[in-house]
Chains A and B, each alone.
Chain A
């Protein structure tokens, strides 16, 4: 008795902050989260206001100065038609920072709904849906993307749908296991004893309590989504020229590394890496704060 009750009566004495305020203050104390957030916010600022502080127009060619190495004039050098790499890297965050979060959002919504249904109904519904999801997870994203592009044509929307749907089963699996644990709690039985509909029980009773694992999974998935978007643009699916997108730039310039023109590829690659690391640091921070 003493152990459990001491814990439940503790919050009486530890101030009036709600659970989400606790998480917020814990995030503010987390160096990992703040570092990650800083990197992500930097790129978000570039995406929103990039053209205002980029030194050159990222699309303007200057054939005479093509493939100039990094210099005081062009910090990151120029590409094969003389466009300023520094300006392109700055503005190049825009497409990836639209497509990847939207894909993650789609994956979260679809995955949460699937996870709630399979975890709530269990039994045969769970067996069938879970097997289908597992089969889906076994197919590589690139194959799905190829098929989708053949069917739907190439566009940002296609990339969002492809990545969103291929990440949904992973989020569904996390949500399902959280829901299975919640399902055993008595408040679900209490809802049944009020004749609540299954939808109400799932979305109003259970969902608010499984937000923390969803939040963690979403931030982790965002990192993967950025990587996936960059990969698909590199392969020529989705984001199309003349966008200064990072993956696309690497794809159109990587042939020239052999010629010693490393600057046309390196800075885009570093940009992708820094954004992925930033998101992952933030995800670590969120996970830490929620598990405290």
Chain B
């Protein structure tokens, strides 16, 4: 471990094993993990939740929770053996040579100290004091592209947006010029446009700094844009490693192959076919693994895979832990792709028609217009996707439609041609059961005191009016249709995984044979392989039951997969509404254009990037004229600040709220594509 000069690798893990003590037993989380990150290199670590990604980050700085212990192997940070450091040396290493940025900046910052205090503290620890420390802090904030550092220094964390908080956290991490920067899901909780800004910032900082980066993420696209090399982690073992573009374009492990296939990509839609899934589950923490950890879920597995642990085969600059790495890409699909979805009948009557929906909250004496003048209609068997950043009113619209929150006077909601009362209490039983919801977080949506059987049968009793044998028969049918088994009925929600819980929530929503199901970010808390299975299930149920969806998501690829129509929302207003394909293909509203451009893409074909400056304005004090004018890259001039544009029909069924005429938008956006192509 004692290299003479500067070591080749900034971080070197050698045969590292880590276990957590749970229920009196040591359970292996990392199993003989070896990896090296070169000086100045960005290394991405990907994998599903529970595979040990975050444990790697914590282990590097020996910051494991109390029940965690390193059971074997070595960690060397810049040539220094981390395992041999005493408390003082470890403290110095953490202060000087390695920094971490966590997922939730709100929790990383001290809520009761001003930003300035928290930043200067770091420099004071390094022996700089007073004005000098404060100057350095301002320089640091400038470095992370915060435009008004002096005023940010005076603020408390809660007064900053999530993106700003994460910038401050990054500034703090960079304060002592670390040699190793660990980023653990740094953009996971952020909106797409903010995520893009933070990723740009990290990319720019990489040019300026010499730090090596360990970038941990579940998002393959983010890693593919940010990292030089990538390691795929499964059950605490490295299953594949290599240069990012090589691994993602030509994966050599069935797990990587399957993971990539789960993502809705390249405009894939429900009527083209189903997404692929990964059958089975990740082995539990501490499960005994003989042979290949992925064998149980791998269609290519043979007896050899089940008994003999594959070594990391060296394939020339890349590694794969698969006996049959040369065949990995011939992995058969776990879910046949051919199930064709129904297309909505063009002539059919609207099942839902909403006109002039408004919602104003009173907030400290100001009117907060959460939803302004929203009009949409939905045909049977059709999906309306609602997209927009947080605070755009997506969830409020869902709650207004369901009657959970009363809208302002004057709007009109019609269900199958009949007006729908604003309040849930005034709706008939039939109207209530016609519109149901699948919530974002199943832990909140499923009563943790009740068994799965109780949860679903209660819904059947109340919504379908069933009892006795009829209820039992329908219960069996419903449980099978969401692909749960009888085994799951007896348990409480906490005993199920996230994906299974969401299936229970879907079963409950479908109990009364609804006409419309609102899906509020139903997959945002799930891993990609589970997300694919849930999206397939929703698509299957739609084609079978001819139900309509209102599908809310911040993930544009997911919305695109399931939606027939898309409404793009900004500050509670619809900026663009139209058939899914037209909205995605463009020409589109400048905001839609920016949203699409912000999404990190796996296939690095993207050449042009539109970045939105500044923060999303407050809904209590929305900008005059077009609400988007403060951030719009295509702003015309005074007219945008003075007059609010109306939703004008661009092509039949496709409306855009913009002063720029449709033909002009088409020309501008085409021009941009031409301009940037050679670059």
- Residues of A at the B interface (CB closer than 8 Å) are 1-6, 8-16, 18-19, 185-187, 189-190, 192-196, 205, 208-209
Asked if A13 contacts B527 (CB within 8 A), the reply is no
Asked if B458 contacts A8 (CB within 8 A), the reply is no
Report B-chain residues with C-beta under 8 Å of the C-beta of A10.
22, 285
Tell yes or no: B210 within 8 A of A by CB. Answer: no
Report B-chain residues with C-beta under 8 Å of the C-beta of A18.
492
Tell yes or no: B497 within 8 A of A by CB. Answer: yes
Asked if B449 contacts A208 (CB within 8 A), the reply is yes
Asked if B444 contacts A2 (CB within 8 A), the reply is no
Pick from A4, A13, A196, A208: contact of B525, CB under 8 Å: A4
Q: How far is the CA of A194 from the CA of B461 in the complex (A)?
A: 9
Given known A-B contacts A9-B49, A208-B449, A193 and B402 have beta carbons under 8 A apart? yes
Tell yes or no: B284 within 8 A of A by CB. Answer: yes
Given known A-B contacts A18-B492, A193-B437, A2 and B49 have beta carbons under 8 A apart? yes
Asked if A192 contacts B53 (CB within 8 A), the reply is no
Asked if B23 contacts A14 (CB within 8 A), the reply is yes
Number of A-B contacts (CB under 8 A): 100
Between B435, B443, B501, the greatest number of chain A beta carbons within 10 A of the residue's beta carbon is seen for B443
Asked if A15 contacts B50 (CB within 8 A), the reply is no
Report A-chain residues with C-beta under 8 Å of the C-beta of B492.
18-19
Question: Which chain B residues (490-504) contact chain A, with CB distance < 8 Å?
Answer: 492, 494-498, 501
Q: How far is the CA of A209 from the CA of B448 in the complex (A)?
A: 7
Given known A-B contacts A186-B445, A194-B463, A14 and B22 have beta carbons under 8 A apart? yes
Between A10, A187, A192, A208, the greatest number of chain B beta carbons within 10 A of the residue's beta carbon is seen for A187
Q: How far is the CA of A189 from the CA of B441 in the complex (A)?
A: 13
Tell yes or no: B188 within 8 A of A by CB. Answer: yes
Report A-chain residues with C-beta under 8 Å of the C-beta of B53.
2
Given known A-B contacts A2-B49, A187-B446, A193-B437, A15 and B497 have beta carbons under 8 A apart? no
Asked if B445 contacts A13 (CB within 8 A), the reply is no
Q: How far is the CB of A187 from chain B (nearest CB, A)?
A: 4
Pick from A12, A19, A185, A195: contact of B462, CB under 8 Å: A195
Asked if B458 contacts A192 (CB within 8 A), the reply is no
> Which A residue's beta carbon lies closest to that of B188?
A1
Asked if A190 contacts B445 (CB within 8 A), the reply is yes
Asked if B432 contacts A2 (CB within 8 A), the reply is no
Between A11, A12, A193, A209, the greatest number of chain B beta carbons within 10 A of the residue's beta carbon is seen for A193
Q: How far is the CA of A189 from the CA of B285 in the complex (A)?
A: 34
Between A3, A189, A194, A195, the greatest number of chain B beta carbons within 10 A of the residue's beta carbon is seen for A194
Q: How far is the CA of A57 from the CA of B407 in the complex (A)?
A: 75
Given known A-B contacts A185-B444, A187-B444, A11 and B494 have beta carbons under 8 A apart? yes
Query: What are 24 pairs between A and B in contact, CB < 8 Å?
Result: A1-B526, A2-B53, A2-B103, A2-B218, A3-B54, A3-B103, A5-B49, A11-B494, A11-B495, A12-B495, A13-B285, A13-B287, A14-B23, A18-B492, A186-B441, A190-B439, A190-B508, A193-B437, A194-B432, A194-B459, A195-B429, A208-B447, A209-B447, A209-B448
Interface band, chain B: 35 or more
Q: How far is the CA of A10 from the CA of B27 in the complex (A)?
A: 12
Asked if B525 contacts A193 (CB within 8 A), the reply is no
Asked if A15 contacts B424 (CB within 8 A), the reply is no
Asked if A193 contacts B443 (CB within 8 A), the reply is no
Question: Which chain B residues (409-458) contact chain A, with CB distance < 8 Å?
Answer: 424, 429, 432, 435-437, 439, 441, 443-450, 458
Tell yes or no: B668 within 8 A of A by CB. Answer: no
Tell yes or no: B271 within 8 A of A by CB. Answer: no
> Which B residue's beta carbon lies closest to that of A206?
B447
Contact with A along B507-551 (1 / 0, CB 8 A): 010000000000000000111000000000000000000000000
Tell yes or no: B286 within 8 A of A by CB. Answer: yes
Report A-chain residues with C-beta under 8 Å of the C-beta of B445.
185-187, 190
Report B-chain residues with C-beta under 8 Å of the C-beta of A186.
439, 441, 444-445
Given known A-B contacts A18-B492, A209-B447, A189 and B22 have beta carbons under 8 A apart? no
Report A-chain residues with C-beta under 8 Å of the C-beta of B284.
12-13
Tell yes or no: B666 within 8 A of A by CB. Answer: no
Asked if B525 contacts A5 (CB within 8 A), the reply is yes
Asked if A209 contacts B449 (CB within 8 A), the reply is yes
Asked if B49 contacts A1 (CB within 8 A), the reply is yes
Asked if B462 contacts A6 (CB within 8 A), the reply is no
Report A-chain residues with C-beta under 8 Å of the C-beta of B218.
1-2
Asked if B527 contacts A1 (CB within 8 A), the reply is yes
Q: How far is the CA of A64 from the CA of B83 in the complex (A)?
A: 80
Q: How far is the CB of A258 from chain B (nearest CB, A)?
A: 55
Given known A-B contacts A4-B525, A5-B527, A6-B49, A13 and B508 have beta carbons under 8 A apart? no
Report B-chain residues with C-beta under 8 Å of the C-beta of A185.
444-445
Report B-chain residues with C-beta under 8 Å of the C-beta of A8.
443, 494, 497-498, 501
Report B-chain residues with C-beta under 8 Å of the C-beta of A194.
432, 458-459, 462-463
Report A-chain residues with C-beta under 8 Å of the C-beta of B496.
12
Report A-chain residues with C-beta under 8 Å of the C-beta of B641.
none
Q: How far is the CA of A194 from the CA of B429 in the complex (A)?
A: 8
Asked if A192 contacts B424 (CB within 8 A), the reply is yes
Report B-chain residues with C-beta under 8 Å of the C-beta of A189.
402, 404, 437, 439
Tell yes or no: B185 within 8 A of A by CB. Answer: yes
Report A-chain residues with C-beta under 8 Å of the C-beta of B439.
186, 189-190
Asked if A5 contacts B285 (CB within 8 A), the reply is no
Q: How far is the CB of B108 from chain A (nearest CB, A)?
A: 13
Given known A-B contacts A9-B497, A11-B495, A194-B459, A1 and B448 have beta carbons under 8 A apart? no
Pick from B286, B424, B447: contact of A187, CB under 8 Å: B447
Report B-chain residues with C-beta under 8 Å of the C-beta of A12.
284, 495-497
> Which A residue's beta carbon lies closest to that of B449?
A208
Contact with A along B646-662 (1 / 0, CB 8 A): 00000000000000000
> Which A residue's beta carbon lies closest to that of B496?
A12
Q: How far is the CB of A220 from chain B (nearest CB, A)?
A: 23
> Which B residue's beta carbon lies closest to that of A184?
B444
Given contacts A5-B498, A5-B527, A209-B448, 9 further A-B contacts (CB under 8 A): A1-B527, A2-B50, A3-B54, A8-B494, A189-B404, A189-B439, A190-B508, A193-B404, A193-B437
> Which A residue's beta carbon lies closest to that of B505?
A190
Q: How far is the CA of A205 from the CA of B498 in the complex (A)?
A: 21
Q: How far is the CA of A15 from the CA of B27 in the complex (A)?
A: 13
> Which A residue's beta carbon lies closest to that of B189?
A1
Question: Which chain B residues (46-71) contact chain A, with CB distance < 8 Å?
Answer: 49-50, 53-54
Asked if B185 contacts A1 (CB within 8 A), the reply is yes
Q: How far is the CA of A131 from the CA of B145 in the complex (A)?
A: 51
> Which A residue's beta carbon lies closest to that of B501?
A8
Report B-chain residues with C-beta under 8 Å of the C-beta of A208.
447, 449-450
Between A4, A9, A11, the greatest number of chain B beta carbons within 10 A of the residue's beta carbon is seen for A9
Closest 9 CB pairs of A and B: A208-B449, A5-B49, A13-B284, A186-B445, A194-B462, A186-B439, A2-B49, A187-B447, A186-B444
> Which B residue's beta carbon lies closest to that of A185?
B444
Report B-chain residues with C-beta under 8 Å of the C-beta of A3.
54, 103, 185
Between B53, B449, B450, the greatest number of chain A beta carbons within 10 A of the residue's beta carbon is seen for B449
Q: How far is the CA of A193 from the CA of B431 in the complex (A)?
A: 10
Q: How far is the CA of A209 from the CA of B493 in the complex (A)?
A: 13
> Which A residue's beta carbon lies closest to that of B219?
A1
